Chains A and B, each alone.
Chain A
Amino acid sequence: MKFGVVVFPGSNCDHDTFHVIDKLLGKPVEFIWHETQKLQGYDAVILPGGFSYGDYLRTGAIAKFSPVMKAVRAFADGGGLVLGICNGFQILCESGLLPGALMRNRGLQFICRHVYLRSENTDTPFTQTLQPGQVLKIPIAHMEGNYCADEVTLDALEANRQIVFRYSTSEGEVTDAANPNGAARNIAGICNEARNVMGMMPHPERASEDLLGSHDGRSVFESMAASLVTR
């Protein structure tokens, strides 16, 4: 199996993501420069966090026009696994690969701290090693993490079980107090209907070893690797 981590001008979580897959999971992984027009031999592609194109115009708005995104879209359409983390999630929404949009945090502050996520759907390639309802401690670091979509879309996400993670208390209660940015229905991560594309605002690559305060995020990458073995 081979993972690819896309690097846009301004991406800054690419190396952390690469490190987790390379050193902690021990799986083959390569960087994919954003000008690459063909994706060959990859089983999973990750759009990492950062500030692609300086967040100019809107977060992720310019990255969606990067040459590599045509290939990422074709890869996703063909069933390949695509994970968008933070800015990567924003890029997936801007590209239409995931519904909705990420807006400015309701408190108007950049929030950089650990949060708790409740695993809502463990029937995805990204969460299959987790238990339903399992609480993960993973950090967020964003100014535009406020997930929003119209009620019809939100209801469809619920009905189709496309909500993968919600912000919760450490006990797994989904409350407004536990919602750091005002995201609709406490949504922290969603997947597409086919469940091969997922976006999440928190940074699992920053919570993959205890040295950084939590290893809970490693499950996302381990789930992906496990799912690729059986595909």
Chain B
Amino acid sequence: MKAQVTVTLKKTVLDPQGKAIHHVIESLGYRSVVDVRQGKFFEIDLDGIQDEAAARTDVERIAREVLTNPVIEEFAYEIKK
């Protein structure tokens, strides 16, 4: 079982890196791109866990305690078998 976790800045937090990337994309002529925000991707190998509910509990704790700074970031994840 694998967990794929994405970590992004909260919507209320300024993302200057996302803005810089947006400017580059705009300068290449993609006028329909209105915003870009940058985040992080983690892939966690859960070898040894059989129960999806247990996997979800572990992944949520790992995401909260390690992968994100809850002051400025939030996360989403998927379990893939």
Quick one: given A104-B17, A108-B20, are A150 and B69 in contact (CB under 8 Å)?
no
* Complex interface bits, A118-160 against B, C-beta within 8 A gives 1, otherwise 0: 0000000000000000000000000000001110000000000
Residue of A nearest to B67 (CB): A57
CA distance A222 to B15 in the complex (A): 38
Quick one: given A108-B20, A148-B72, are A103 and B66 in contact (CB under 8 Å)?
no
Decide if B53 is an interface residue (CB 8 Å cutoff): no
Q: Which has the most chain B C-beta neighbours within 10 Å: A65, A105, A148?
A: A148
CA distance A81 to B19 in the complex (A): 40
Which residue of B14, B67, B69 is within 8 Å of A106 (Cβ)?
B14
A149 contacts across to B, CB distance below 8 A: 71
- Asked if residues A107 and B66 are in contact (CB atoms below 8 Å), the reply is no
Which residue of A103, A106, A107, A108 is within 8 Å of B72 (Cβ)?
A103
Closest-CB distance, A54 to chain B (whole angstroms): 16
CA distance A99 to B72 in the complex (A): 12
Decide if A185 is an interface residue (CB 8 Å cutoff): no
Tell me which residues from 180 to 205 in chain A have a Cβ below 8 Å from any Cβ of chain B: 182
Decide if A101 is an interface residue (CB 8 Å cutoff): yes
Decide if A100 is an interface residue (CB 8 Å cutoff): yes
Decide if A94 is an interface residue (CB 8 Å cutoff): yes
Q: Which has the most chain A C-beta neighbours within 10 Å: B12, B13, B72?
A: B72
Which residue of B16, B17, B67, B71 is within 8 Å of A100 (Cβ)?
B71
- Asked if residues A106 and B16 are in contact (CB atoms below 8 Å), the reply is yes
**What does DSSP make chain A's interface, helix, strand, loop or mixed?**
loop
Decide if A58 is an interface residue (CB 8 Å cutoff): yes
B20 contacts across to A, CB distance below 8 A: 108
Closest-CB distance, A84 to chain B (whole angstroms): 16
CA distance A107 to B72 in the complex (A): 18
Decide if A111 is an interface residue (CB 8 Å cutoff): no
* Complex interface bits, A32-56 against B, C-beta within 8 A gives 1, otherwise 0: 0000000000000000000000000
B16 contacts across to A, CB distance below 8 A: 104-108, 182
Decide if A61 is an interface residue (CB 8 Å cutoff): yes
Tell me which residues from 1 to 42 in chain B have a Cβ below 8 Å from any Cβ of chain A: 12-14, 16-17, 20
Residue of A nearest to B12 (CB): A150
Closest-CB distance, A181 to chain B (whole angstroms): 10
A105 contacts across to B, CB distance below 8 A: 16
A104 contacts across to B, CB distance below 8 A: 16-17
CA distance A148 to B13 in the complex (A): 9
The 9 closest A-B pairs by CB, nearest first: A101-B71, A101-B72, A106-B16, A108-B16, A101-B69, A58-B69, A108-B20, A100-B71, A103-B72
Q: List 18 A-B contacts (CB under 8 A).
A: A58-B69, A93-B71, A94-B69, A100-B71, A101-B69, A101-B71, A103-B13, A103-B72, A104-B16, A104-B17, A106-B14, A108-B16, A108-B17, A148-B71, A149-B71, A150-B12, A182-B14, A182-B16
